[in-house]
Structure 1
Amino acid sequence: MIYLMADWKADTQLDTDRIYHLSQFFTEEKLDHQLVLSGHVPNLLYKLNEYGYHQDNLIRVFDLLQGVERLSGHPLTIDELDIPSEYDRIYSPFGVMLWHDDRMVGYVIFDDYGFPTRVMFYKEDGAREEHTYDSRGFLSSIFYVNSGNVLVQRDYFDEFGRLRIHVDDTGFYLDGLEFPSQEAAVSMMLQAQLADGEDENVLISLSDETTLEEIKKLVEASKVKVISILSDKEQVHKVLKHKDVEMVIDSRVDQLPEALEAGHYIPIFYPELELGQSSEAPKLEIYAHFSKMEREEFKQLNMLIQKSSAKEDIALFVELEDPSQLDRVELMKREIIETHFDVDMDSDAYKKTEKYIVSKLAKKLFNSDLEAVKPLKETAQWPRLVGAVEAGLRINFADKNGLGILESKLDQVRLYLDLSDHYQIYRHAQVVSAGVPLISRHKSDYIRQGKNGIMLPESDLKLEEAIDHYLVNLKQWNEALVEAVDLIEAHHPKDIIKKWKELINNGEK
């Protein structure tokens, strides 16, 4: 059996997780496997439902330790939580405060889906209890934190409310049986799983040191072949010191020579044919992704806003990984537009023009809107007001970040700019899938230099010149699309699954 070892946490983004993608890929290619999750992830059901993942092949090791047998269920409402009836509730946009005897005695925290996931109970001495609820509808754990903000005890319960696991500074206790650590208990449970059957088991995991050490113990106790995906290039020597571990690299970018020599190259995030409709879009939209905003990034963004302000056919969409910079970049946009068009965006004239244009675009134009701008149309200021409003409408910033934002925009995007400070291969694969040219601050597995994109470190072109290369000349953009399709065909799933099968089966096809 093939086991994929997942180290997911409550905040893990599955759309960028290698093990999650590999499981989805194996499922699509009908390669039998099981996904092993060793951690305590009480909100897992939400996550899996969000991504459409079927948990038939999922082994939740911590469930086995907790004695939880329930595979599904429904989340509890606030009225179903174990909250004393005498506590008053004060609702806010972020949670529910619990009050009693003129002080806040608790706080209910909701998840992104609107369900209560955690309740904090505050003691008079400053200590607190943190009650966490499983998305399948039961109290999963209680953490005890003392007045010095130190976690001193953890208790875990099954779906019937029975205490199964107790952890304190003396040890990890499972039904009264002591283990040296939680990892030791998890390892015992995994060994029991791997002991079933006579065939050799294959474990596929990421290359973090903790996982490798735990797998080493499993190898010593069971008949197991281990494949480690190099998720951090700095871990290559730690992987190589485990002589019985096969290493997979899913990117050739900036890898150490040892990794390129010893690793099996098998893409995990690869482009698939999902071409967008940007050739039919009314504007040439640039999608710019920034992970931070420092001097160089502000300079680049300034150029992009000025370019879009000056050219009616160029739209700009900016995704910021740091949402705290949103107000600052909005102010930059405003100042550039006001300067370029010589208008005051706080003036009545601008506001009337904006309302008129927005209503017209929405096809909800009233006579009052027409009358409001009638005098303005007779002035020399009118073209500048219209230009400023239209520039403001075609330059936009995402109010959140993530692959979901990119997915929702790619259908209309004409050019993607990777201006982040770290290479994200899954984004590049997604952009190439849509046939969109890609300009990157980094080397990339999916850019053929000067064809379907430009890697700025290896180019003599500056950023604006690279942008013009694809937006000014339609021939270059069409050639990039053809090259992207060729790249997609070069990463056919049948070829990738063939590599996995050969590695898993010791070279046998």
Structure 2
Amino acid sequence: MIYFIPSWQSLSDGPTDFDDIVHQLKMFQKNNIKVEIILPTYLPSIRYQLNRQGLTNIRYWSVFEYLQNIKNNIGLPLKADSLKFPDQAQFIYTPICLIVLYQKSVFAKVYYSKFGGVSHVDYFVNDMVNKQNFYDDRGILSSVIAYDSTGKQIYMNYFDDYQNIKIHHDLLTHQVELEFEGENYIYGSIEELVISYIEQHLKDVRGNHTIILSACLENNYLTNLSHLNNRIIVSFSNQRFKFENKELLNKFLSMADILIADTKFSQRELEKECQSKHRNLTIHELPPFDANLKLGESQSMRQQVIYWYVDNSLAGILPTAIQKLTHRLITHKKNSIVIASKSSLQIRDISNKIFDYVKEFYQVNEESVIYQMAWQALNDDSENRLHDNELNQFSEIKEYQDATKAIEVMQHVEKQVITFEKDINIGLSSARVILDLNNKPDTFLQISGISAGLPQINMKESSYIVDRKNGLILKTINQLDEAIEYYLDTLNYWNESLVYNIEQIEKYSNKNNVQRWIDLVRSNNEHD
């Protein structure tokens, strides 16, 4: 059996669209290969979370569900009107939560999960949180966190279906009391409890097992599984592991039989550390995502869209990048740009800097009457808009002409907040070229770009983008102008990139990726 231990943390959103393990599980599921997820963390909404990712048929074993001994597998998420509050309570509905007022004070706040049911309720005493009730996706009260009068968490209780306390976790001493099958047990920490029952679970299942463990800070304590007689593959992703944490890195290396890296960067970091510590470990670079042919429609579009993906590692080159990209928009009317990020604040900051540069270039003042008239002429379709004969008197004024040009350039800047993987796919469907100037190119974006047949411009090399084949690797940000011209002004180079990407799609297809995993696990077992 192949066991996956993911990096999903307690009371988190669990599996996300950009989680490498989600895509690996989908690969195995699609090819009817049996795997099991071992969940060491407390995830009361795991059924919904797996279903949302299309992993309903994936088998999982949760330490907490097992110890809570919840028998009821059928149920619906709890609705707010099922909760009991004082008769005289008043309710205030906000986008964030439902606020319950009683005797002019906040009595409770009801929070909803992404699937629409109640996730947890905060209860207040003297305007301080007194306790938090957590509900699972079957509508069952699953756990409670209690607070003292200063707002400090003091303990957490986990329940079975009948509200019997199965686990009592003292959050001050970290000690855990467990009632299981009529017996009482005491553990020094929640991690000790989790390790103990994962070990027991693996011993209860016969056969040769391979454990694939996601390396991350929060899974630090799982390195204590190293003494098990199971093959352990440790999976590293530069999206979730900080390689500068050498102490933690070596903990994972010491338990591993084999290592998986998601990118060349991760592979190099692992190779350096293995060499420095004289560890003889095999390192495989395996793509965490599939490539599927999804060619966009940019060839039939008049506008040439630059899809610019930004994260928080741009600081040193950002001013130059903004200046060069804005100048490109000013000088090429058929160009537009999509600023894409998982951070709306970053998108706003960058777009504002672009707008400031445009207004400075044309020397326009958006507070002026002339500017407002130009804006209205371009944007206002209402009955109150100025008529053409009213606007004609301004059309020869340079300030009006410059304002019109500035507004038209700014209209070629679009913003896209990335929440789900479909957001990237939608953004790439109209893109002509991808720009990822971050210190670590985003792996999901790179493979999605290959699927869309698009050339990509990066500052760092990777396994997926080959210089002057399906993209360009810049040595300095000053080469950005030339790189954009290379793909937007010369059709031949763009077509060459398209052909190369189509060849790469087969290499990173679901079928080939699964075969790499199968070969890896099989050779690992045969090596034994």
TM-score (norm 2): 0.84
Query: 1:67 Cα deviation (Å)?
Result: 1.5
1:257 to 271, 274, 296: 271
Matches within 5 A, 1:370-449: 372-377=387-392, 379-381=395-397, 384=402, 386-399=404-417, 403-449=421-467
2:516 to 482, 492, 499: 499
Contact kept? 2:22, 2:53, Cα under 8 Å: no
| Structure 2 CA distance for aligned equivalents of residues 495 and 75 of structure 1 | 39
| Structure 2 CA distance for aligned equivalents of residues 464 and 136 of structure 1 | 55
State whether structure 2 residue 490 is matched by structure 1 residue 486: no
Instruction: State the SS of the aligned residue for 1:398.
Output: strand
Corresponding residue of 1:173:
177
Instruction: State the SS of the aligned residue for 1:83.
Output: coil
2:71 to 63, 69, 72: 69
Percent identity, aligned pairs only, is 22
Contact kept? 1:239, 1:247, Cα under 8 Å: no
**Amino acid across the alignment from 2:210:** V
| Structure 1 CA distance for aligned equivalents of residues 478 and 306 of structure 2 | 18
| Structure 2 CA distance for aligned equivalents of residues 197 and 104 of structure 1 | 50
Change (3 A) 1:164 1:501: same
| Structure 2 CA distance for aligned equivalents of residues 488 and 20 of structure 1 | 20
| Structure 2 CA distance for aligned equivalents of residues 205 and 191 of structure 1 | 14
| Structure 1 CA distance for aligned equivalents of residues 477 and 414 of structure 2 | 29
Instruction: State the SS of the aligned residue for 2:110.
Output: strand
Change (3 A) 1:311 1:185: same
Contact kept? 1:110, 1:116, Cα under 8 Å: yes
Change (3 A) 1:328 1:14: closer
Any stretches of 5+ residues in structure 1 without a counterpart? 360-364
| Structure 1 CA distance for aligned equivalents of residues 477 and 96 of structure 2 | 49
Matches within 5 A, 1:317-328: 317-328=338-349
State whether structure 2 residue 350 is matched by structure 1 residue 332: no
| Structure 2 CA distance for aligned equivalents of residues 283 and 337 of structure 1 | 19
Query: 1:119 Cα deviation (Å)?
Result: 1.5
2:106 to 104, 107, 111: 104
Matches within 5 A, 1:354-369: 354=375, 357-358=378-379, 369=385
- The superposition leaves residues 4-53 of structure 1 with CA deviations (integer Å, 9 ceiling, x where unpaired) of 11231214552222222211111112221111212111233443333222
Instruction: State the SS of the aligned residue for 2:506.
Output: helix
Instruction: State the SS of the aligned residue for 1:15.
Output: coil
Which portions of structure 1, spanning 4 or more consecutive aligned residues, are displaced by more than 6 angstroms?
Answer: none
Contact kept? 1:285, 1:316, Cα under 8 Å: yes
Contact kept? 2:322, 2:354, Cα under 8 Å: no
Contact kept? 2:78, 2:137, Cα under 8 Å: yes
Instruction: State the SS of the aligned residue for 1:431.
Output: helix
Corresponding residue of 1:205:
213
Matches within 5 A, 1:3-402: 3-9=3-9, 10-12=12-14, 14-71=16-73, 73-124=75-126, 126=128, 128-168=130-170, 169=173, 171-175=175-179, 176-208=184-216, 211=219, 214=222, 216-217=224-225, 219-220=227-228, 223-231=229-237, 232=241, 233=243, 236-242=249-255, 245-253=257-265, 254-258=268-272, 262-292=282-312, 294=315, 296-341=317-362, 343-346=364-367, 350-351=371-372, 354=375, 357-358=378-379, 369=385, 372-377=387-392, 379-381=395-397, 384=402, 386-399=404-417
Aligned pairs, number: 499
**Amino acid across the alignment from 2:2:** I
Corresponding residue of 2:487:
470
Query: 1:63 Cα deviation (Å)?
Result: 1.0
- The superposition leaves residues 66-96 of structure 1 with CA deviations (integer Å, 9 ceiling, x where unpaired) of 1223445322221112433333222223222
**Amino acid across the alignment from 2:461:** K
Name whichever of 30-39 and 251-260 sits farther off. Answer: 251-260
